[in-house]
Structure 1
Amino acid sequence: PRLTQVEAEKLNKLREAEEIVMALKDQIDSAIASQRSQEFYDLDQYMENLKIMDVWLDNILAPYYPSQLTVIGSQMQFSPYSSAEVIDSFNHPEENFFYDLYQQWYLPGILQEDIDIFGISITSVEQIISGLTLAYLVKQNRPEIHITVGGSVFTKLVDRLENDGSPLFNFVDSFIVHEGETPLLRLVEHLRGDGDLSKVPNLIYKQDSKVKVNRPFAKEELNALPTPDFDGLPLDLYLAPERVLPVMGSRGCYWEKCAFCSIPFDHMNFHVRYAENVVDDFKTLQEKYNCNHFFFTDEALPINFLRTFAAKIVEEKSDVQWTGELKFEKSLLKDDRMDLLYKSGCRKLIFGLESYNQRVLDSMKKGVELSWVDETAERCMKLGIAMHFYLICGFPTETPEEAMDSI
Structure 2
Amino acid sequence: MAKIILLFPPYWTPAMPHLALPALSSYLRAHGVEVIQRDLNLEVFERVLTRDYLTQSMARLRDLARRGAGPGTAVPPERLRWALAEGAKLAAQVEAAVAVIRSPAFLDGPTGLQAFLTIVQSLEVASLPFHPAALDLLSYTPPAPVDSSRSLLQAVRAEQRNMFLEIFRRGILPDIVREKPDIVGISIPTEGQMLAGMTLAHLVKQSGLPCHVTVGGPHITMLRQQLPKAPALFKLIDSAVAFEGEEPLLRLAEAVTGQGGLAAVPNLIWRDGAAVRVNGPHPQPLSSQNWPDFDGLPIVRYLAPYPVLPLLTAHGCYHGDCAFCNVGYGRAGHFMPLKSAQVVAQMLALQRKYGIRHIFFADEAMTPRSMREMSALLSAQGSPIQWCGCMRFEKAITADLLQAMSAAGCRMILFGLETASERMIELMDKGTKRETMGRILKESTAAGIWNHTFFFFGFPTETMADAQDTVNFVYAHGDAIHSASPGEFVLERYSPVQQRPRDFGVRRIIERPEKDLAIYFDYELESGLDDQMAKTITERLLDVLPGKRFGQYYAQDTYRLLYAAYLHEHGRPLPGWLVAEADGT
Measure how far apart 1:186 and its partner are: 1.9
Summarize the Cα distance change of 1:161–1:364 in structure 2 as closer, same or farther, 3 Å threshold: same
- Structure 1 residues 366, 46: CA separation in 2 closer, same or farther (over 3 Å shift)? farther
Corresponding residue SS for 2:397 = helix
Please list the CA deviations of residues 196-250 of structure 1 after superposition, one character each: whole Å capped at 9, or x if unmatched.
112222222122432222213433333242x211111112211111111111111
Deviation of 1:8 after TM superposition, in Å, equals 5.4
- Contact persistence 2:188–2:216 (CA under 8 A): yes
User: Structure 1 residues 318 and 107, CA, compared in 2 at 3 Å: closer, same or farther?
Assistant: same
CA contact (8 A) 2:416 2:455 kept: yes
Q: 2:180 aligns with which of 101, 114, 123?
A: 114
Match of 1:63 in 2: 129
Distance, in Å, in 2 between the alignment partners of 1:11 and 1:341 is: 52
Q: Check conservation: 2:74, 2:131, Cα contact below 8 A.
A: no
2:258 pairs with one of 182, 190, 193:
193
State the Cα deviation string for residues 336-359 of structure 1 (Å, max 9, x = none).
Answer: 211221122110000111012212
Contact 1:205 1:211 in 2 (8 A): yes
Aligned to 2:220: 154
2:165 matched residue in structure 1: 99
1:344 maps to 408
The equivalent of 1:206 in structure 2 is: 271
Letter aligned with residue 122 of structure 1: I
SS at match of 1:295: strand
TM-aligned CA distance change 1:275 to 1:289, over 3 Å: same
- Show the counterpart of 1:215: 280
Partners in 1 of 2:282 and 2:202 — Cα distance?
27
Alignment partner, residue 282 of structure 1: 347
Q: Following the alignment from structure 1 to structure 2, what is the Cα–Cα distance between the partners of residues 13 and 221? A: 50
Q: CA deviation at 1:41?
A: 2.5
User: Alignment partner for residue 328 of structure 1, among 385, 388, 393?
Assistant: 393
Task: Name the residue aligned to 2:372.
Answer: 307
1-side partners of 2:303 and 2:68: how far apart?
A: 44
- The farther-off stretch of 305-314 and 7-16 is 7-16
Tell me if the contact between 1:182 and 1:220 (Cα under 8 Å) persists in the aligned partners.
no
1:233 is aligned to: 297
Q: Deviations over 1:294-320 (max 9, x none)?
A: 111111112212222222222233401
Of 296-305 and 207-216, more deviation after overlay is shown by 207-216
User: C-alpha separation between the residues in 1 aligned to 2:299 and 2:84?
Assistant: 32
The whole-number CA distance in structure 2 between the counterparts of 1:42 and 1:370 is 37
Most deviating of 15-24 and 298-307:
15-24
Give the percent of matched residue pairs that are identical in Structure 1 and Structure 2.
Answer: 34
* Secondary structure, aligned partner of 1:61: helix
SS of corresponding position for 2:457: coil
Q: How does 1:237-386 map to 2 (within 5 A)?
A: 237-265=301-329, 269-333=334-398, 336-386=400-450
CA spacing shift, 1:391–1:231, aligned 2, 3 Å: same
Q: How far does the alpha carbon of each residue in 1:366-391 deviate from its partner, in whole angstroms, 9 at most, with x for none?
A: 00011111111111111111011111
Shift of residue 77, structure 1, vs aligned partner? 3.0
Task: Give 1:7 deviation, angstroms.
Answer: 6.2
User: For residue 244 of structure 2, what is the amino acid of its counterpart?
Assistant: E
Q: Which residue of 2 aligns with 1:87?
A: 153
TM-score, normalised relative to structure 1: 0.93
Tell me the secondary structure at the aligned position of residue 119 of structure 1: strand
Q: Secondary structure at the match of 2:294?
A: coil
User: Following the alignment from structure 2 to structure 1, what is the Cα–Cα distance between the partners of residues 293 and 69?
Assistant: 52
Structure 2 match to 1:19: 85
Give the whole-Å Cα distance in 1 for the aligned partners of 2:381 and 2:73: 63
Q: Does 1:391 align with 2:455?
A: yes
TM-superposed CA distance for 1:10, in Å, is 6.7
Distance (Å, rounded) in 2 between the aligned partners of 1:406 and 1:128: 34
**Residue identity in the other structure for 1:287:** R
CA distance in 2 between partners of 1:122 and 1:7 (Å): 27
* Mapped pair 1:53 → 2:119: yes
Gaps of 5+ in 2: 1-66, 472-585
Partner Cα separation in structure 1 for residue 253 and residue 73 of structure 2: 47
| C-alpha contact (below 8 Å) 1:298/1:325 kept by paired residues | yes
Q: Structure 1 pair 107/266, CA: closer, same or farther in 2 (3 Å)?
A: farther
Q: How has the CA–CA distance of structure 1 residues 369 and 18 changed in structure 2, closer, same or farther, with 3 Å as cutoff?
A: same
Q: Is the 8 A contact 1:122 1:153 kept in 2?
A: yes
The 2-side partners of 1:317 and 1:62 are apart by 49
CA gap 1:79/1:336 in 2 versus in 1, 3 angstroms:
same
> Is the 8 Å Cα contact of residues 189 and 217 (structure 2) preserved in structure 1?
yes
Structure 1 letter corresponding to 2:368: I
How far off is 1:48 after superposition? 4.1
- Of the two structures, which has the highest relative contact order with CA contacts closer than 8 Å and spacing of 6 or more? 2
1:328 deviation in Å?
A: 0.8
Q: Name the counterpart of 2:36.
A: none
Which amino acid is 1:53 matched to?
A: I
How far did residue 22 of structure 1 move?
Answer: 0.4
Q: CA RMSD in A?
A: 2.2
For 1:375, the aligned partner's letter is R
Distance 1:179 1:17, change over 3 A: same
Alignment of 1:176 with 2:241, yes or no, is: yes
Instruction: Tell me which of 100, 124, 142 is aligned to 1:34.
Output: 100
Determine if contact 1:222/1:271 at 8 Å carries over to the other structure. no
Cα distance between partner residues in 1 of 2:335 and 2:214: 25
| SS in structure 2 of the partner of residue 392 of structure 1 | strand
C-alpha contact (below 8 Å) 1:21/1:60 kept by paired residues:
no
Local SS of the residue matching 1:263:
coil
Query: Could you tell me the TM-score, scaled by structure 2's length?
Result: 0.66
CA distance in 1, matches of 2:327, 2:349: 29
Which amino acid is the alignment partner of residue 308 of structure 1?
A: E
